[in-house]
Chains A and B, each alone.
Chain A
Amino acid sequence: EPEVTQTPSHQVTQMGQEVILRCVPISNHLYFYWYRQILGQKVEFLVSFYNNEISEKSEIFDDQFSVERPDGSNFTLKIRSTKLEDSAMYFCASNVQGTAGAFFGQGTRLTVV
């Protein structure tokens, strides 16, 4: 069964460093998303991406965040200068239609120290 793949599974970084979280969405999917889940809290939407551009972003997704689809398979989330409060599980998701219900990856646990 096709699945969304995220790497790495766990990343530890120092405050102020840049991190790139990587995702390989399901191959025929057209809509891509990033969500995050701070420990013990609910899953929060960050950004949606379609047709090579951001279609929607949340208030969390400020200038420190960016997304890119550098080739036909990868979808990345970059945090330019990490803060302690960026520590969370980051989930990538994709679907073939925007309203279809997204398929989520296993997540990348980001720890900022």
Chain B
Amino acid sequence: AQSVTQPDIHITVSEGASLELRCNYSYGATPYLFWYVQSPGQGLQLLLKYFSGDTLVQGIKGFEAEFKRSQSSFNLRKPSVHWSDAAEYFCAVGADSSYKLIFGSGTRLLVRP
């Protein structure tokens, strides 16, 4: 069965610092991978997605993620965090055989001024 693990419940970074949020997935074939962001009281906004091809994908708001098959990982990165990036970030996996998304438990990002 598919599953997603986000090992960090909370991460705090200083504004301007770099960010990496971890995501590991479990799935037998090549997965479809997504990162979503949820600001307080808001819905889920799609940041980026990986289906195939180039393993480094660019998303909105300056985010990028790298698919590493050997590590079953899809970590989200940003070179310089802004205060407005404070939110909860969810990694999700989907598959050809099912269009549902399986979400990780989320990582809450706090940004220090």
Contacts and interface: CB of A to CB of B under 8 A. Distances in A.
B34 interface: yes
A33 B100 contact: yes
A102 B45 CA distance: 9
Nearest to B6: A42
Interface stretch (B11-19, B36-44, B78-86): B36-44
B10 to A, nearest CB: 13
B106 A42 contact: yes
Q: State the main secondary structure of chain A at its contact with B.
A: strand
Interface stretch (B20-28, B63-71, B91-99): B91-99
Nearest to B92: A43
Interface residues on B, range: 20 to 34
B32 A99 contact: yes
B45 A56 contact: no
B92 to A, nearest CB: 8
A108 to B, nearest CB: 10
B99 A55 contact: yes
Contacts of A55: 99
B74 interface: no
Interface of B: 32, 34, 36, 42-46, 49, 51, 90, 92, 94-96, 98-106
